[in-house]
Amino acid sequence: MNLVCDTPLTPLSFLGRSSTVWAEKTAMVDDERTLTYGEFGALAQATAKALRGKGVGDGDRVAYLMPNVPEMLVAHFAVPLAGGVLVAINTRLSAQEMRYILEHSGAGVLVAGEGLTQLADEAAAGLDSLHTRVTTAQEPPAGWITYEALLESGPAAADLPWSVDDERKPISVNYTSGTTGRPKGVIFTHRGAYLNALGEVLHSQHTTDSVYLWTLPMFHCNGWCTTWAVTAIGGTHVCLPEVRGEAIWRAIRERGVTHLNAAPTVVTMILNAEEAAPLDAPLRITTAGAPPSPTTIAAMERMGFSIVHLYGLTETYGPYAVCEVQSSWNGLPGVERARLMARQGVGMIQADTVRVVDEDMVDVPADGQTMGEIVMRGNCVMAGYYLDEESTAKAFRGGWFHSGDLGVMHADGYVELRDRAKDVVISGGENISTVEVEQALMSHADVLEAAVVGVPDERWGERPKAFVIARRGTAPTEADLIAHVRQQIAHYKAPREVVVVDELPKTSTGKIQKFVLREKEWAGHATRVQG
């Protein structure tokens, strides 16, 4: 007899469980509200029923345009509970970029935060697919209804089940940044989101006592699936609409924050805020989105933060690999330990292995020198690009997802990211890793942040140029910085120009937008071969 008693995996079950087991425990807080897990579950149910009342059915897309507020967290459960697919839109996009996402996804409902309705109206003007617009503002503009009115419109019906019939159904579509073309809609499934969330619980070491501060946007890879992870373990979400140093440090001290996620540039902002001071209690920072420099890691540890370094992409539900810290590293000098911790590491516990391969899909030697492309597969790789079979097939050629990231494999099985393929500087036939040059610059005591891009060169085709932000109260010279880099790495890799700037172009998650710097440098020149 072959009896099958399993159930499809879905993050919905996390809130179903926590709303019962932790019914009276604080689930989320912001400056105005506190909700228990029982109230969280009830609000998700009410929102889901209301969305169904507005016509949302199986597979229908529901767009949310919001910062990190409770309604955005609720959406991660309410939309799939209604049978829909969540499309969380970056609040920093232009109206034109938002319009493309709304049109491509075919969203029928748009829920926007207070202060975002005018931008949303501009983005959605004339879209026939969009039939319902909801706002958290108390006084909605014409054509909009309030969030309260949405809830009141919901039918009186029994609670919806915290389950799905097919774990491979889409739970969300997350759009890429589109820096080299139109944004692509990355399909997350219930199964992948469930497993990635559990991986986050394990590697970031969340418990029911976790107090998680939302410094990472929920619209970015569904907050690296932490929307579901912290809920699964019954931790407390601290919603933070604006990421500012003062607000972060106030929340750390007043809310007793134990965990937060952030890109390295956001970590740098936290460390260098005027309010920064050594911690009174342990706080774990999970960082990803760009390679953190050993200098940043060492500074984090000195201030008392414990570090989880992850690596991944939107196409891998956010984090896919983790730099597992070995006990043997504890006795190493600080600089050497930080260098090892800056590597991207190995596949997370819920993921598959990470490979570094050549153009023929053959693994490169594990010598820490030979570069190849990082490829991945398994439970936590996207189901594909929404309505884009050609791009999906290209991304999965050879049966593995091609990241577009170049890295090396070390003898201990740890991967180290060297660059994005499009960012590598090819100077006189030599490949120069911009990450390596940036880390050399960051090791200078006066450098707060650095970005390196390839610029035109008549003799070599292109060469590296650096842009840096200096620490407060310092004034590093170009000659000093160039000399410092030449002491760290080969002379031919060092930039001839280092420009000190007040700010660097960044995404909403704090990742430096090198393409913006590069496009300015290449304006009026022949198109760069590697893009």
pLDDT in the model for residue 275: 95
**Cα-based angle 45, 50, 55 (whole degrees, multiple of 5):** 125
Q: What whole-number distance in Å separates Cα of residue 260 and Cα of residue 50?
A: 32
- Cα distances (Å, whole numbers) of residue 337 to 11, 208, 341, 343: 36, 31, 6, 11
pLDDT in the model for residue 95: 92
Q: What is the pLDDT of residues 358-375, one digit of tens each?
A: 999 999 999 999 999 999
Query: Is the confidence at residue 419, as pLDDT, over 90?
Result: no
Contacts of 477 (CB under 8 A, 6+ apart): none
Q: What whole-number distance in Å separates Cα of residue 94 and Cα of residue 436?
A: 33
**CA dihedral of 307, 312, 316, 321, whole degrees rounded to 10:** -60
pLDDT in the model for residue 526: 55
Q: What is the pLDDT of residues 62-113, one digit of tens each?
A: 999 999 999 999 999 999 999 999 999 999 888 999 999 999 999 999 999 9
State both tokens at 65. Answer: 């345009």
Cβ contact 409:368 at 8 Å:
yes
Query: Is the confidence at residue 431, as pLDDT, over 80?
Result: no
Q: In the predicted model, what is the mean pLDDT of residues 463-489? A: 93
Query: Is the confidence at residue 452, as pLDDT, over 50?
Result: yes
Query: Is the confidence at residue 193, as pLDDT, over 80?
Result: yes
Query: Is the confidence at residue 458, as pLDDT, over 90?
Result: no
Q: Where does the chain hold its CATH 3.40.50.12780 domain(s)?
A: 243-420
Cβ contact 521:465 at 8 Å:
yes
Q: HEC states along 168-206? A: CCEEEEEECCCCCCCCCEEEEEHHHHHHHHHHHHHHCCC
Mean pLDDT for the chain? 93
- Cα distances (Å, whole numbers) of residue 426 to 182, 240, 454, 524, 531: 26, 41, 8, 19, 12
pLDDT band at 1 (very low <50, low <70, confident <90, very high): low
- Amino acid type, 65: L
Q: Where does the chain hold its CATH 3.30.300.30 domain(s)?
A: 425-522
Specify the CATH class of 425-522 in words. Answer: alpha beta
Cβ contact 488:440 at 8 Å:
yes
Q: Where does the chain hold its CATH 3.40.50.980 domain(s)?
A: 12-159+167-194
CATH classification for the domain delimited by 12-159+167-194, as one of 3.40.50.1970, 3.40.50.980, 2.40.160.60, 3.40.50.2000:
3.40.50.980
pLDDT in the model for residue 295: 86
380: left (phi over 0), alpha (psi -120 to 50) or beta: alpha
% residues pLDDT > 70 (the chain): 97
Query: Is the confidence at residue 529, as pLDDT, over 50?
Result: no
Indicate the fold that domain 243-420 takes in CATH.
Rossmann fold (3.40.50)
For tokens 């290209």, what's the residue?
394
Neighbours of 287 (CB within 10 A): 27
Q: What is the pLDDT of residues 15-63, one digit of tens each?
A: 999 999 999 999 999 999 999 999 999 999 999 999 999 999 999 999 9
pLDDT in the model for residue 370: 95
- Amino acid type, 35: L
Query: Is the confidence at residue 190, as pLDDT, over 80?
Result: yes
Comparison of pLDDT for 33 and 511, the residue scoring more: 33
Q: In the predicted model, what is the mean pLDDT of residues 285-303? A: 87
Sheet holding 236-238, edge to edge: 34-36, 26-29, 236-238, 211-213, 259-262, 283-287, 305-313, 318-322, 346-347
Q: Would you give the DSSP letter of residue 398?
A: G
Query: Is the confidence at residue 310, as pLDDT, over 50?
Result: yes
Q: What whole-number distance in Å separates Cα of residue 518 and Cα of residue 522?
A: 6
Cβ contact 101:124 at 8 Å:
no
Query: Is the confidence at residue 152, as pLDDT, over 80?
Result: yes
Q: What whole-number distance in Å separates Cα of residue 23 and Cα of residue 43?
A: 13
Q: What whole-number distance in Å separates Cα of residue 227 and Cα of residue 73?
A: 6
Query: Is the confidence at residue 316, as pLDDT, over 70?
Result: yes
**CA dihedral of 57, 92, 271, 337, whole degrees rounded to 10:** 60
**Cα-based angle 179, 180, 183 (whole degrees, multiple of 5):** 65
DSSP for 135-160, written as a single string: ESSSSPPTT-EEHHHHHHHS---PPP
pLDDT in the model for residue 528: 53
Cβ contact 84:62 at 8 Å:
yes
pLDDT band at 502 (very low <50, low <70, confident <90, very high): very high
Q: What whole-number distance in Å separates Cα of residue 356 and Cα of residue 133?
A: 46
Neighbours of 203 (CB within 10 A): 21
Query: Is the confidence at residue 379, as pLDDT, over 50?
Result: yes
Q: In the predicted model, what is the mean pLDDT of residues 520-528? A: 72
Query: Is the confidence at residue 178, as pLDDT, over 80?
Result: no
pLDDT band at 420 (very low <50, low <70, confident <90, very high): confident
Q: What is the pLDDT of residues 213-240, one digit of tens each?
A: 999 999 999 999 999 999 999 999 999 9
